[in-house]
């Protein structure tokens, strides 16, 4: 996406790889929307920390970051033969896989890479690792563009669309999932309005989605998370589109940012279509129940405090809650298939429980990373 920074407009991807330095380059998302900065990670451990600390976040973006991190770790190996290389690679894989456990994109990305690293020498496998990582990133962009074309038909002229958290360009390598239909609709000349849930506790909707839409020139309002039901009751929301960090292909259950389940319940109550937009790397074909999805629980300080910018421009954390209170901070929840109108994919829109029926087509396409 094009970003206007210091008076200049330039196209950026969320994450990319610098071959010369063996560094992963990332947009520092924690500083947005007040400051735009690109950072780099020196090794796979730093890349994993960037994922854990949410310098980079979002299903496709951390999938690509993990893929580049695996390539980064592979290319840094200098010690010996294939057996030792494989042990080193297993350590790299484990470190990156544990960075944020709920999302399945990093696992799918790295598993696809390992399947392609079949060379007879360490040097061949190192090159294959980078080639496969770059292909995953390209596929992520292509998948998001394709699902945007399928989802665009859902946005009619004058539509009022609600989205939750950030499943935009910043959450993927480019284009985004939930925002892809919006960008396609805008390109086709449609006029519509977006409601951005603030998405506490990290406020990705207010901070990231709103910033993206402002960069793109799409009309939008930020609303408090608890205001969505009010606007639905007033008839001011026509459609809900969210992203996902893991969709179970066997059951159609969807894990996404905490609060997604609440919005799905409200949408069902008010007869509003609720769609989930995903690239194919977000489908988990193995787990058999949403209860088996590992739900990340993050530091309680995210709930008890908030980051902001002072009038002087200094970024500062402020305590909001009662000083003696503790907090619970699950980062995701699981939405059952009966609350979901459809899953928007690069190959079309499917009912949640239809994914398994079409697993040969969807699963095969997802492995071309």
The dihedral built from the CA positions of residue 139, 67, 299 and 91, taken in this order, carries a sign that is positive
Contact 73, 43 (CB under 8 A): yes
Q: Which of 262, 242, 237, 251 is nearest to 337 (CA)?
A: 251
Sheet of 246-248: strands edge to edge? 283-284, 246-248, 254-257, 332-335
pLDDT tens for the chain, 369 residues long, are 778 766 778 899 999 999 999 999 999 999 999 999 999 999 999 999 999 999 999 999 999 999 999 999 999 998 889 999 999 999 999 999 999 999 999 999 999 999 999 999 999 999 999 999 999 999 999 999 999 999 999 999 999 999 999 999 999 999 999 999 999 999 999 999 999 999 999 999 999 999 999 999 999 999 999 999 999 999 999 999 999 999 999 999 999 999 999 999 999 999 999 999 999 999 999 999 999 999 999 999 999 999 888 888 888 999 999 999 999 999 999 999 999 999 999 999 999 999 999 999 998 544 433
Q: Is 345 helix (H, G, I), strand (E, B) or coil?
A: strand
Q: What is the dihedral of CA 360, 332, 93, 52, to 10 degrees?
A: 150
DSSP one-letter code for 31 = G
**Residue environment code for 228-246, b if the CB has 16+ CB neighbours within 10 A, otherwise e:** bbebbeeeebbbbbbbbbb
Q: Kindly report the CA angle at 1 between 173 and 222, in degrees rounded to 5?
A: 95
Distance CA 25, CA 70 (A): 14
Contact 341, 269 (CB under 8 A): no
pLDDT of residue 364: 54
Q: Kindly report the CA angle at 344 between 136 and 26, in degrees rounded to 5?
A: 35
Distance CA 74, CA 58 (A): 24
Contact 285, 359 (CB under 8 A): yes
SS3 content of the chain, % helix, strand, coil (to 5): 45, 20, 35
Active site residues: 245
Q: Kindly report the CA angle at 113 between 170 and 140, in degrees rounded to 5?
A: 30
Cα 163 to Cα 88, 206, 214, 344, distances in angstroms: 41, 11, 15, 14
pLDDT of residue 5: 67
State the pTM of this model: 0.94
Q: Got the DSSP string for 130-183?
A: HHHHHHHHHHHHHHHHHHHHHHGGG--TT-EEEE-S--SGGGSSSS-SSSHHHH
Domains, the chain, ordered by start: 2-141 (1.20.120.420), 145-366 (3.40.50.10470)
The dihedral built from the CA positions of residue 344, 151, 225 and 218, taken in this order, carries a sign that is positive
Q: Is 92 helix (H, G, I), strand (E, B) or coil?
A: helix
pLDDT of residue 368: 35
């Amino acid at each position: 996406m094009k970003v206007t920074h210091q008076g200049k407009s330039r196209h950026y991807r969320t994450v990319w790889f610098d071959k010369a330095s063996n560094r992963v380059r990332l947009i520092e998302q924690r500083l947005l929307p007040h400051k735009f900065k690109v950072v780099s990670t020196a090794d796979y451990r730093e890349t994993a920390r960037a994922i854990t600390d949410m310098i980079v976040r979002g299903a496709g973006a951390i999938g690509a970051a993990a893929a580049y991190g695996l390539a980064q770790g592979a290319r840094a190996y200098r010690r010996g033969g294939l057996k030792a290389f494989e042990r080193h690679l297993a350590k790299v894989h484990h470190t990156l896989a544990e960075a944020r456990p709920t999302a399945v994109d990093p696992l799918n990305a790295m598993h696809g890479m390992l399947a392609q690293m079949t060379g007879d020498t360490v040097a061949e496998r190192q090159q294959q690792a980078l080639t496969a990582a770059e292909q995953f990133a390209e596929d992520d962009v292509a998948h998001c563009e394709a699902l945007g074309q399928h989802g665009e038909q859902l946005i009619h002229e004058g539509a009022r669309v609600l989205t939750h958290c950030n499943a935009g360009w910043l959450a993927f390598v480019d284009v985004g999932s939930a925002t892809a239909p919006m960008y396609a609709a805008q390109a086709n000349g449609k006029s519509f309005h977006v409601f951005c849930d603030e998405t506490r506790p990290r406020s990705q909707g207010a901070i990231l989605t709103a910033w993206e839409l402002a960069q793109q020139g799409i009309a939008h309002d930020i609303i408090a998370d608890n205001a969505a039901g009010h606007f639905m009751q007033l008839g001011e929301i026509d459609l809900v589109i969210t992203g996902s960090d893991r969709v179970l292909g066997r059951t159609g259950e969807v894990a996404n940012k905490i609060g997604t389940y609440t919005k799905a319940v409200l949408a069902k109550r008010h007869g509003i279509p609720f769609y989930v937009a995903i690239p194919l790397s977000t489908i988990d074909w193995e787990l058999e129940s949403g209860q088996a999805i590992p739900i990340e629980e993050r530091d309680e300080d995210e709930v008890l405090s908030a980051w902001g910018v002072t009038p002087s421009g200094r970024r500062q954390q402020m305590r909001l809650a009662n000083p003696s209170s503790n907090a619970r901070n699950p980062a995701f929840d699981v939405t059952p298939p009966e609350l979901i109108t459809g899953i928007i994919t690069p190959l079309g829109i499917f009912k949640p429980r239809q994914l398994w029926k079409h697993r040969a087509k969807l699963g095969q396409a997802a492995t071309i990373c």
